Structure 1
């Protein structure tokens, strides 16, 4: 009996030692895994998670051996041509994914299924043309950048209803229109960038009505020729509005009505000849506007703008570049330097005639 008891004690002790050694080995492996760094990448480690950056042209596939606790992964200036959900499953704690200037031309619809914590995705400068439906459904994305790709059409099915997205950048693509129901799925949107596309008409874009939290809207570098008076009626939180480098010929008097938070308005490089009376009234003292590079016709119809510039010259950026394109006698004159008689020679003639 004594020998049996001793044998059992030895066996239990050996089992305990074996389990302890296995646990230590596993812990050591996890520690090495959490602090290893793939070739062609640089890594930094913090208690909150690892940050990995890979920027080599020789990189053609997602690196293996990424730290499992990676929270930020940046791959840029590489020849990465494909990425899959199985690649990202190696980094389940990922919150920020940046794939800049790679060779990606498509994304699988289930790409984000194993990174539920992802909130920022930046795909700037790739070769994306078409994206599959539901591609951004599986995460709580807050920021999505698709800048400088080859996208010709946006599919509202990319996003779930009531998406958590607050920042969307679609600038530098080939869009000619925005689906009517796309922005209806993005009620939390604060920053929307549609600049440098081929948008021609916003007259029927009533989906802007659903963006009650929108603060920044960039429509610069498109082919807009006009806007309807109610375009921004429901975007009362707008603080920055970029309309430069379009072909806008006239603006409705009530376009900015209700936009009490507007701080910056860019209207330069359009085809404006006059501004309607009242357009810029009731602005904050901190309000700034750029009006240069428009073909201003300096006649009696420009009287509103002339008076506004005279009183609010401190609100105008590049004031000296707001100049007359016509009539010939006033060409290149700064609008703010004009006199009442120069703007309304007919008024002067009537006064002389009446005398």
Structure 2
């Protein structure tokens, strides 16, 4: 009998505490006009014309958050650094108007596994963009305005990321070092960009890579691109190219499949260029011009004195 009453008391306590937490969760979400399903620990805030992500009740712990289809333009530094966000596993931010992600915006999301940022207006991604995402496995960046991938871009998530979707951006430049330390990366989708040349030697360093998408790019099938990319794929049976690389130029190769061009080339004597990061190169150049200009002014001042 005593056991029965103890069990009843436990059930009542759990119900009361659960209702209190859920009520707090619902109240906070409704205050943001975002109905929550607290049973599944999800913030459901899609298509609400939200312009900025606010704070949510600290008593509730969330596993998923959906802010897709809103009017959010910027993710500010430490945007998600709240106690109730630290167990978030999935974050949906697709189909907003995002143009800027401040450094450290995702700090506090150390357990996040899946991040959706597709269908936005993001132009720049850098190493500091991903600070704090210690468990990230799936990153969706489809249909943005990204133009280049530099060598350190994914450094903070290089050991955990498995799926990377970059299709339908404006990518023209990919550093040969961009993916070389990504030991868990299994899938890369680079289709539908503006890539014309690529040093594909990095493919041999992505040890877990299984699936690659490269179609719908304006490939210029020069010796370096074909020998570094297609020959690497031809020799590495573990990487499956899931679409075709069709040449847009030069004229003699236009319309051909990249693997067919490979059979026409002798890749043994190819000299590969040394690449530099665009930003770093321009920065050094501007710095040198400034120093030269300053030195000349100083020289003429001293001579005139």
What is the distance in 1 between the residues matched to 2:253 and 2:202?
A: 24
**Preserved CA contact (<8 Å) 1:184 1:207:** no
Structure 2 counterparts to residues 75-86 of structure 1, below 5 A: none
Structure 2 gap segments, 5+ residues each: 1-14, 271-305
What's the CA shift for 1:259? 1.3
Kindly tell me the number of residue pairs found equivalent between the two proteins: 250
| Structure 1 residues 137 and 172: CA distance shift in structure 2, 3 A | farther
**Preserved CA contact (<8 Å) 1:192 1:216:** yes
User: Which of 1 and 2 has greater Rg?
Assistant: 1
What's the CA shift for 1:332? 1.2
**Preserved CA contact (<8 Å) 1:134 1:157:** no
Structure 2 counterparts to residues 8-157 of structure 1, below 5 A: 92=22, 108=31, 119-124=41-46, 126-131=47-52, 133-135=54-56, 137-155=58-76, 156-157=78-79
Compute the TM-score of the two structures, normalised by the length of structure 1: 0.61
What is the distance in 1 between the residues matched to 2:53 and 2:120?
A: 21
Among 145, 153, 171, the alignment partner of 1:223 is: 145
| Structure 1 residues 167 and 238: CA distance shift in structure 2, 3 A | same
Structure 2 counterparts to residues 1-355 of structure 1, below 5 A: 92=22, 108=31, 119-124=41-46, 126-131=47-52, 133-135=54-56, 137-155=58-76, 156-157=78-79, 159-160=81-82, 163-203=86-126, 206-235=128-157, 236-284=159-207, 287-302=210-225, 303-312=227-236, 315-319=239-243, 321-339=244-262, 341=264
What is the distance in 2 between the residues matched to 1:137 and 1:198?
A: 31
What is the distance in 2 between the residues matched to 1:132 and 1:211?
A: 19
What's the CA shift for 1:233? 1.3
What is the distance in 2 between the residues matched to 1:139 and 1:178?
A: 26
**Preserved CA contact (<8 Å) 1:94 1:118:** no
Compute the TM-score of the two structures, normalised by the length of structure 2: 0.70
Higher relative contact order, structure no. (Cα contacts within 8 Å, ≥ 6 residues apart): 2
What's the CA shift for 1:243? 0.9
The equivalent of 1:81 in structure 2 is none
Over aligned residue pairs, what C-alpha RMSD do you find?
3.6
What's the CA shift for 1:202? 1.1
**Preserved CA contact (<8 Å) 2:212 2:242:** no
| Structure 1 residues 221 and 107: CA distance shift in structure 2, 3 A | farther
What is the distance in 2 between the residues matched to 1:299 and 1:343?
A: 12
What is the distance in 2 between the residues matched to 1:275 and 1:298?
A: 10
**Preserved CA contact (<8 Å) 1:111 1:135:** no
What is the distance in 2 between the residues matched to 1:340 and 1:108?
A: 64
What's the CA shift for 1:165? 1.5
| Structure 1 residues 285 and 165: CA distance shift in structure 2, 3 A | closer
| Structure 1 residues 158 and 285: CA distance shift in structure 2, 3 A | closer
